[in-house]
Structure 1
Amino acid sequence: MHKKDYQTINETLYTEVLDNGLTVYLLPKADFHKTYGLFSTDYGSIDNEFVPNGQKDFVKVPDGLAHFLEHKLFEKETGDVFQDFGKQGASANAFTSFTKTSYLFSATTNIKENLLTLLDFVQAPYFTEATVEKEKGIIGQEIQMYEDDPNWRQFFGIIGNLYPEHPLHIDIAGTVESIAEITAEDLYLCYNTFYHPGNMTLFVVGNIDPEEMMTWIRDNQEQKEFPAFQPIQRKKIEEKQAIIPRSDLKMPVTRPKAVLGIKGSLDHLPESGRELLRFKTAMDLLFQLLLGNTSQNYLRLYNDGIIDDTFDFEYNLDRSYHFADFAGDTDDPASFFHEVQKILLGYQKDPEISQENLSLLKKKMLGKYFQSLNSLEYIANQFTQNLFGDTTLFDVPEIIQSIELEDIYKVGAALIQKEAFSEFVIAPESE
């Protein structure tokens, strides 16, 4: 077991790759009562075309299958796994993103029992055509619920403009039509390809003894047999269609909702995990400098009534995509787009990007980061999402401190191109 001390944050991370390929991370936190376990696979909604384990040809599965599989893994022939966790004093959950699926529990007692329940239920699939058909109605209702959510439609609206051919633009849950096509055979096909320990990570954080915890995990995994791991072949996504510059939608909203997106080129991304996290962090700093709620740009737009408290932005970087979006409710979408795009395109000469502002913002970002480490839930949920090769969530302070003004300008040049912008508006139905 490898031990790494992060002296800046006074944390020690234990890591081991088991014989079956499973990568285990353990973070003891003696001052906490609760323990979180997070079991994740590098498989999400965009992974719908791949070569199944043991085969040679690519297959395409229905959209929404990763999310559907997440739901079905909790149901066993003996009953619902949620009830097992409940009897053991734990709460359990799961979530599917574009690139990952994670299963987790949190508990203050019966940690060994809950950990083994987590490992065993994820590693013992049970799908039948009858249970699959039953789930279609449940997930269909979930899809329709999201279709009525303006914020959800706003997010996927801009992704649809930026990535009209990439599976990224399809709702993580799929569509009512696509999930109707899912069979038990499809679920086993994806499970046997993506749920191999060699494609998975286990992260446990809390009041644990790492040696004891690792012994429980090793013993559990040694009792199970898995085929040899084959590197997963995902279909390379060929994007021939250009960005859609503008699209609109009408919904029962009281005010227009506008979102401006920027699509990043994969050619401009660094290759190493550490540099990718550094790139992402520098991009977050760039946008905070330009449009954060303490910037002069934000205050001007707010005072002019172009944006309000709903204004927000985020930068997403993951396997096969990276983009930024700037969204909010506004009475004047045209001015919203013009002003925000003008600020972004003028980043090189913007007085907000200064050494003084960067130093202050880095201190603020570090303070927020250290405060977040007081939440085991935050650590558990963010650790897997911020795993860039050997670089982890705990390398973030060092990365923040290393970023200079030239890095801010460099990432800006890699993303902010006039032809990379797109606009999406949700207008009130009465207009």
Structure 2
Amino acid sequence: MKIETIEYKKYDEMVYKYEHSSGLKCIVVPKRGYYKKYATFSTQYGSVDNEFIIPGEKTKTKVPDGIAHFLEHKLFEQKDGSVMDKFAALGSRPNAFTSFNQTVYLFSCTDMFKENFDLLLNFVQNPYITEESVEKEKGIIAQEINMYRDNPGWRVSFNLLDALYKEHPVKLDIAGSIESIGRITKETLYKCYDTFYHPSNMVITVVGDVDYRQVFEQVEKNIKTAEKVSGIKRIYPEEGEGLNKKYSEQIMPVSTPLFYIGFKDSSLEPEGTEILKYDLAVKLLLSAIIGKSSELYTKLYDKGLINSTFEMDFSLEKSYAYSMLGGESINPEAVMELLVKEIKTIRDKGLEPSVFERLRRASKGRFLRQMNSVESISRSFINLYFKGVTMFDYLNVYDTIGFDYITDVFDKHFDIERMALSVVKNR
């Protein structure tokens, strides 16, 4: 068994990596003395992966929207009962989630790690799907879709994505629609499982006070033998840089209007640490423009145009990238107007290097504090692994990112012509 050891001396951290013969990667981050242990089994398969070419085939496969999320639900049902009940009997807390780009199965525990880890490895590898259970699940997920459809916070977010994107499936609800899940069959679920749940498309992460050798031995023992296969060709529609629309509005019963403002990034496919560099630059710029320490935030807050619900984020993937900011506001259009004014002012006068440096140091401090949480470490590794980097690569980016680069990213990302507003209000 070949084990790769990576030492980050500056931060007193060790990472151990192992690759199974199938191509499955396993990463262990030991945290000696920590009470909680956290393990994940993840596949690079999310809601946007609805058109692809299966390795070894030449023709495209198109599947219904929402199938990745549907499959996540089905894996928890085994022939001999509910996986959730099995985890509960072992004293652990299991969970799973499907995002745009990945599906993650996980548990946290304080005791009986070996037994819980065996259960995680085995249930993810052994789907039990029947036609009867598929039909039953359609009703359950339909209720979930209706619940989110009636959730103003969910709707204002996806309405923004629909405004930003004309064709890309990132604009579609992760669970799909009632119509799309109605077309899901047992055969299609197994086809997607066999394609995207191949070990070479997956990664295991374990963070906590564990013996990395024992973890790798469990993986070696439990993972079904499988040869490596060539990569899955994922197909996304031609999107272009233009918006679908500048403004989206939906009437729903809310006490205060909800809003999100978004910037659609132009087409880019960064590699390696350039992904982290661009991501950090946009997040620092968001903080500089409208973060809690900015003049604009104070002005908006004092005018009653935003409140404590205000938030912001940036998403960067190989086929799309966007930032979004928002919350509750009595006048979302006024927020957008003042934001546009601030962006134009910065474009005319330039950014302040001292502000950038202060925000960089503060952000690095928050990042280092995340390294005390097994959950934060594990989730960061999952998200970044499929991009070819690790969370520890961020540390070098924090130390090397320059002001000139930040300025270039500002000019590129904060383009008012690729800016949209989504509002949910009661009338």
TM-score by length of 1: 0.94
How far apart in 2 are the matches of 1:388 and 1:118? 20
SS in 1 for 2:363: helix
SS in 2 for 1:63: coil
Aligned residues: 424
Q: Which residue is 2:45 aligned to?
A: 43
Runs of 4+ in 1 over 4 A off after TM superposition: none
- Residue 174 in 1 paired to residue 172 in 2? no
SS in 1 for 2:313: strand
Which runs of structure 2 are paired with 1:144-155 in the superposition (5 Å)? 144-155=146-157
How far apart in 2 are the matches of 1:384 and 1:257? 31
Q: Which residue is 1:426 aligned to?
A: 424
How far apart in 1 are the matches of 2:356 and 2:295? 14
Conserved in 2, the CA contact under 8 Å of 1:44 and 1:97?
yes
Conserved in 2, the CA contact under 8 Å of 1:3 and 1:14?
yes
Worse-superposed segment, 92-101 or 107-116? 107-116
Q: Which residue is 2:260 aligned to?
A: 259
Give the counterpart of 1:358 among 340, 356, 359.
356
How far apart in 2 are the matches of 1:380 and 1:185? 33
Conserved in 2, the CA contact under 8 Å of 1:243 and 1:420?
no
Q: Deviations over 1:366-397 (max 9, x none)?
A: 22112222211121222211336442112222
- TM-superposed deviation, 1:227: 5.0
Q: Deviations over 1:169-211 (max 9, x none)?
A: 1110111111111111110010011001110010001111112
How far apart in 2 are the matches of 1:57 and 1:137? 32
Q: Which residue is 2:367 aligned to?
A: 369
CA RMSD after TM alignment: 1.6
- Residue 226 in 1 paired to residue 226 in 2? yes
Which runs of structure 2 are paired with 1:137-286 in the superposition (5 Å)? 137-221=139-223, 224-239=224-239, 242-267=243-268, 269-270=269-270, 272-286=271-285
SS in 1 for 2:141: helix
Conserved in 2, the CA contact under 8 Å of 1:243 and 1:422?
no
How far apart in 1 are the matches of 2:9 and 2:285? 27
SS in 2 for 1:335: helix
How far apart in 2 are the matches of 1:60 and 1:201? 25
SS in 1 for 2:248: strand
Q: Which residue is 1:11 aligned to?
A: 13
CA, structure 1 residues 199+61, in 2 after alignment: closer, same or farther (shift >3 Å)? same
CA, structure 1 residues 278+7, in 2 after alignment: closer, same or farther (shift >3 Å)? same
Percent identity, please: 39
Worse-superposed segment, 314-323 or 49-58? 49-58
Q: Which residue is 2:105 aligned to?
A: 103
TM-score by length of 2: 0.95
Conserved in 1, the CA contact under 8 Å of 2:21 and 2:226?
no
Conserved in 1, the CA contact under 8 Å of 2:21 and 2:228?
no
Q: Which residue is 2:383 aligned to?
A: 385
Conserved in 2, the CA contact under 8 Å of 1:277 and 1:388?
no
How far apart in 1 are the matches of 2:102 and 2:156? 22
- Residue 122 in 1 paired to residue 134 in 2? no
Worse-superposed segment, 107-116 or 187-196? 107-116
Amino acid paired to 2:284: L
- Residue 337 in 1 paired to residue 332 in 2? no
Structure 2: stretches of 5+ with no match in the other structure: none
Conserved in 1, the CA contact under 8 Å of 2:23 and 2:228?
no
- TM-superposed deviation, 1:350: 5.4
Give the counterpart of 1:409 among 407, 410, 416.
407
Structure 1: stretches of 5+ with no match in the other structure: none
CA, structure 1 residues 306+217, in 2 after alignment: closer, same or farther (shift >3 Å)? same
